Structure formats: C-alpha cells, structure tokens
Structure 1
Amino acid sequence: MIEIEQLTKTYKTKYGTVTGVDNVSLTVGEGEIFGIVGYSGAGKSSLIRCINLLERPTSGVIRIGGTDLTKLGSGQLRKSRLKIGMIFQHFYLISQKTVYDNVAFALRAAGTPAKKIRPRVEELLEMVGLADKRDVFPGQLSGGQKQRVGIARALANDPTVLLCDEATSALDPNTTLSILRLLKEINRKLNITIVLITHEMNVVKEICDRMAIMQGGRVIEEGAVYDVFASPQTELTREFISSVVSFDVPEQVLASVRGTLVRVLFKGDVAGEGVIADMLQRHAVKGNFLHGAIEYIQERPLGIFIMELTGERGAVTDALEYLQSRRAAVEVMNHGR
C-alpha cells in the first residue's frame, strides 16, 4: 500500500543544511496500523508530511497504491491527495463554522455534488459519535470532540490512507484511549491504512500492528509491535518501552541478592501457564520474585519476571534449562555470590 524507498529530506537554514529524514525505507501494508515513534527532532513529522507531499522530499520514492507521488504533476497530486486523509495534534478546525460545516468544507473543496454532501456529513458524524453536535461550534467542544470532528473531516472523501500527526498528544489519557479505539474501529470497518506518529509508546501498544523507531532522521528499529516489545534491539527502544512497562528493581534490593538473578520472558500463550511454579517443583531451587507482570499487546500476553534463584549451581543451571525448554527467554543478570 505505502512504499517509501531511500527517502531523504533536507532543509536549508542560516546555519547550513539540516537533514530531517535520512535515507528511510519503509513498507506499510494495506489495512495496517503503523506507528512511527521518536522524540522531538527525530524526523517523524517530516517523514509523515513527505508521505502526502505536504513537504516534497529531497530524494527518494513514495508510492501509495503503486503510484509514485513524487512523479505526479500538480493536478494529479491534488487528486491523489483526496485519498490521503490527515489529522493533526491541534485540530485546525474553522472556529466560525459549525461541526457540520467543518466536515462539509472538505467535501465542497473536493467538488462533491451538493446533494451528496448532507448525507455524507451525517454518516460521518454518526461514525465518530457526534451526530448530536452537528450545529455546535468548535469552541463549545471538548478536546476529544474536536479531534473527532477532525477525524470525520479527514474521512470525508473516502480516503484509503489516514495519516495521524501526534493526533492524541493534546488529549488526556482517557480521551486518548477513546480516540485510539475509534481509530481502530475505523481501521477495521473501512480497511483504511493508518500511519500515526507519536512519542508515546502507550499509543503504539494500544492499536498498532507494526512500528518503527526513529532517531536522528533514521529508522533504527522496525517490526511487529509485539516483537519489538518482547525483544527490543536498541537502547532507545528499551527506553521507550520502559515508559510503558517498567521492570526496574531498586538498587538496594539488587544489593541484597545472594542467589542467581534472572530475567525470564514468556511470549504468547505460555505466558499464562504456570511454568515457573512447575520449575520450582521439579528442581531443588528456591525462587524469590523481585518484579514481574503480564502485559497484553495486540491481545497477546507477554510475561516478564525478575527473580532470584538459590540452590546448588547445578540445580540452578538445570532449572534455567527447564525454563528454556518451556519456550522462555532467560537472561542471567548476575550469578550468585
């Protein structure tokens, strides 16, 4: 659906040339929700604005549905952009127009016949849960309601792609969750491909299928959300994940450990099984749980536990081998003293 090949975007400043996006290649499948994560300045906003050519790339290729947007003339590009909806952090609603007219504006701008505008707007407002707000002005709406108007407006011309530029950053946690669930519902109902950028891993964890981590204009890690959470490959990814799933053990607790300190990770269904209890029954070791939890990512359990094992060295080794035989990933953090 979306193919980005060796995309680079540079900017001329009074201090010289700055690279916002540095040779990025990504593929987003049809109907997928793809998250792009990074701190401010990572290049994610530049990247998403290049996807619909709000900013023209310095070099590289952007294909949507097989069409290279960078090769289109202005007329063809305007037509292609009708199939790329976009929602923003700050809503950008027209304060002097009602909710109805804000959504209708996108249809009128696209040349939609007048007789088709009203039923389409009413359909969209019903979809985003604002049918009772059609004659209200933006100033009378909450932040979440304003974003729902923005989503309805972005969907007005029946796009195949929806780009979300920090769409929930200005919202409180509960409202964020409701907007994410709405986006997921729209994705499943319309099979619309969604690309969202964010600096919040909770957003990605909640609705994304796959994700990429950006730093310094480059993609430094990419994969299925579950796999990235289960086995982060870079320090930055681990830092982002720790903001959602924290398994840090206080230093004073670690200082008191005399046995073998291990981190045990269970993926999928095995996370819900009593593997550790079985291990303790089968082997002459004792276990002291220091930290742990089971998280659900894409409705799949991911169990991470930190524990101290005490016993004879051979018994501890056998216990760890048993855990590995039960499809657990085991990391020895330090051996017994």
Structure 2
Amino acid sequence: MITISKLTKTYETKKGMVTGVDNVSLTINKGEIFGIVGYSGAGKSSLLRCMNLLERPTSGNVTVDGLDLTGLKGERLRQARLKIGMIFQHFYLISQKTVGENVAFALKAARLPKGESIKRVDELLKMVGLSDKKDVYPSQLSGGQKQRVGIARALANNPNVLLCDEATSALDPNTTLSILRLLKKINRELNITIVLITHEMNVVKEICDRMAIMQDGRVIEEGDVYDIFSEPKAELTKEFISSVVSFDVPKPILAACTGSIIKVQFKGAVAGEGVITDTVQHFDVKGNFLHGTIEYIQEKPLGLFLMEIQGDPANINRAITYMEGRGAKVEVIRNGL
C-alpha cells in the first residue's frame, strides 16, 4: 500500500544542514493501522509529511497504491493527494465557518455538485457522531468534537490513506480513547490504511497493528505491536514500553526480600493459564508476588509478573525450567541472598 524507499529529508538552517529523516525504508500494508513512535525531533512528523509530499523528500521514493508520488507534480500530484487524508494535532478548523461548512470546504477540490456535497457532509457528520453539530461554530465545540470534525474533513474525498499527526496529543485521556476507537472503527469499516504519529505508547497499544520506533531520523525497530511489546530489542523501545508497563517496586520492599527475584512473562493463551500456581504446587518453593499485570494488545493477553521465589536453589532452578517449558519467559533479576 505505502512503500517508503531510502527516504531522506534535509533542512537548511542557520547552523547548516540538518537531517530530519535519514535513509528510512518502510512498508505499510493495505488496511492496517501503523504507528510511528518517537520523541520530539525524532523525525516522525517530517516522515509523515513526506508521505503526501507536503514536504518533498531530498532523496528517496514514496509509493502509494502503486503510484510513485515523488515523480508527480502539479495537477497529477494534487489529484493523488485527494486520496490521502490528514488529521492534525491542532485541528486547523476555519473559525468563521460552521462545522458543516468546514467539512464541505474539503469537498471543493473534488468539485462535487451542491446536492451531492450536502449529502456527503451529512454522511460524514453521522459517521463521526456530530450530526447535531452541523450548524455550530468551532468555538462552541470541545477538543474532542473539533478533532471529530477534523476526521470528517479528512474523510471527505473517500481517501485510501489517513495520516494522523499527533491527533490525540491535545486531548484528555478519556477523549483520546474515544477518538482512537473512532479511528479503529473507520479503519475496520472502510478498510482505510491509517498511519499514526505519536510519542505515546498507550496510543499504539490501543489500536495499532504494526509499529516503528524512530530516533535521530532513523527507524531503529519495527514490527508487529504485540511482538515489540513482548520482545523489545532497542533500548529506546524498552524505555517507551516501560511508560506503559512499569516494574518499579519500592527499594525497601526489594531489600526485605531474601529469596530470588524473577521476572516472568507469558504470551498469548498461556497468560490465562495458572502456570505460576502449578509451579508452586508441584515444587518445594514459595512464591511471593511483588508486581503483576496482564495487558491486552491486539486483543491478545501479555502477562508480566515480578516475584520473589524461595526454596532450595536446585528446586528453584527446576521450577524455572518448568515455567519455561510451559511457555513462560523467565529472567532472574537477583539470586537469593
């Protein structure tokens, strides 16, 4: 669907040339929600803007639906952009126009007859849950409602791709969740490919199928969201995931533990099984939970536990081997004191 090949974007500044995107190659599949994560300055927004050529890459190619956008100019590029909707962090609604007029404004490029345009606006506002706000002005809307208008506007010309640049960063947690659920609904019902830029792993965890982590203009890790959460490789990826799944236990509690401290991870269906309970029952060891959670990513469970295990070292080793044999990943954080 979207193929980015060896893409580089440089900027000329007072201090010289700065590389915003550095030789990035990515493939985004049709119909998926793809997250691009990174801190400010990582290059993720620059990469997104290169996808619809709001910024023209310094080198490399962007192909959407088999069409190389970097080879297009003028009217051909304008027509290609109609099939790529974009949602912004700060909404960018026209304050002097009503909600309906804001959405209709996006249809002008398609040159629809007035009757068809009115019908399309009504369809879009119904889709985003704002049918009763058609004649209201942006100043009368909440942040979440403004973003819903932005989504309706981005969908006006029946795009195949929706680019979201920090679309939920200005919203509170509950509103963010409602917007993410709306995007997921749109993705599933319309089969629109969504590319979502964010610095929040909770956003990726909630709706994305695959993801990429960016640092200093480069993609340092990419893959299935569930796989990255369960097996992060890059240190920055681990840092991002720790913001969602934390194993911080107060030092006084750890200091009071005399047994071995182990971290246990269960993937998929195994997370719902009583592996730890079975282990304690079958081996002469005692277990003390220090921290535990089951996260649901892509509707699949990921179990993460930190525990103290006490007993004879040989029995502890057998217990760990047993858990690993049942599909758990076990990491010894500290051997018994």
* TM-score, structure 1 normalization: 0.99
Structure 1 position 245, deviation (Å): 1.3
CA displacement 1:101-125 (0-9 Å, x = unmatched) = 1000011133222231011010000
CA displacement 1:301-328 (0-9 Å, x = unmatched) = 1100011111111101100000000000
1:307 corresponds in structure 2 to 307
Structure 1 stretch 6-15 or stretch 255-264: which is displaced more?
Answer: 255-264
1:11 corresponds in structure 2 to 11
1:139 corresponds in structure 2 to 139
Structure 1 position 142, deviation (Å): 0.5
1:125 corresponds in structure 2 to 125
Structure 1 position 56, deviation (Å): 0.4
Over the aligned positions, Cα root-mean-square deviation in angstroms equals 0.8
Aligned AA (2:128):
V
Aligned AA (1:224):
D
1:194 corresponds in structure 2 to 194
Aligned AA (1:179):
I
Q: Which SS does the other structure have where 2:40 is aligned?
A: coil
Distance 2:206 2:156 in 1: 25
CA displacement 1:170-222 (0-9 Å, x = unmatched) = 11111100000000000000000000100111110110001111111111111
Distance 1:37 1:240 in 2: 9
Aligned AA (1:59):
S
Distance 1:247 1:313 in 2: 24
Q: Which SS does the other structure have where 2:316 is aligned?
A: helix
Distance 1:104 1:84 in 2: 17
2:260 corresponds in structure 1 to 260
Structure 1 position 336, deviation (Å): 1.3
1:318 corresponds in structure 2 to 318
CA displacement 1:131-185 (0-9 Å, x = unmatched) = 0000001011111000000000000000000000000011111110000000000
2:158 corresponds in structure 1 to 158
Q: Which SS does the other structure have where 1:302 is aligned?
A: strand
Q: Which SS does the other structure have where 1:233 is aligned?
A: coil
- Matching of residue 37 in structure 1 with residue 33 in structure 2: no
Aligned AA (1:320):
I
Distance 1:180 1:96 in 2: 28
1:278 corresponds in structure 2 to 278
Distance 1:92 1:191 in 2: 26
Residues 37-116 of structure 1 mapped to structure 2, 5 A cutoff: 37-116=37-116
Q: Which SS does the other structure have where 1:62 is aligned?
A: strand
Q: Which SS does the other structure have where 1:168 is aligned?
A: coil
Distance 2:4 2:250 in 1: 43
- Matching of residue 219 in structure 1 with residue 203 in structure 2: no
For structure 2, the 5+ residue unaligned runs are none
Q: Which SS does the other structure have where 1:252 is aligned?
A: helix
Aligned AA (2:85):
G
Q: Which SS does the other structure have where 2:168 is aligned?
A: coil
Structure 1 segments, 4+ long, off by >4 Å, are none
Structure 1 position 247, deviation (Å): 1.3
Structure 1 position 31, deviation (Å): 0.4
Structure 1 stretch 33-42 or stretch 232-241: which is displaced more?
Answer: 232-241
Q: Which SS does the other structure have where 2:288 is aligned?
A: strand
Distance 1:130 1:73 in 2: 36
2:20 corresponds in structure 1 to 20
Aligned AA (1:38):
G
Distance 1:108 1:23 in 2: 36
Aligned AA (2:18):
V
CA displacement 1:55-79 (0-9 Å, x = unmatched) = 0001111110111100112211100
Distance 2:244 2:321 in 1: 30
For structure 1, the 5+ residue unaligned runs are none
Aligned AA (2:54):
L
Q: Which SS does the other structure have where 2:163 is aligned?
A: strand
Distance 1:309 1:138 in 2: 58
Q: Which SS does the other structure have where 1:39 is aligned?
A: coil
Structure 1 stretch 324-333 or stretch 231-240: which is displaced more?
Answer: 231-240
Structure 1 position 249, deviation (Å): 1.6
Distance 1:38 1:321 in 2: 37
Aligned AA (1:323):
M
Aligned AA (2:161):
V
Q: Which SS does the other structure have where 2:237 is aligned?
A: helix
Distance 1:60 1:69 in 2: 11
Residues 239-250 of structure 1 mapped to structure 2, 5 A cutoff: 239-250=239-250
Distance 2:119 2:60 in 1: 40
Structure 1 stretch 236-245 or stretch 35-44: which is displaced more?
Answer: 236-245
CA displacement 1:78-111 (0-9 Å, x = unmatched) = 0000000000000000000011110000111332
Q: Which SS does the other structure have where 1:319 is aligned?
A: helix
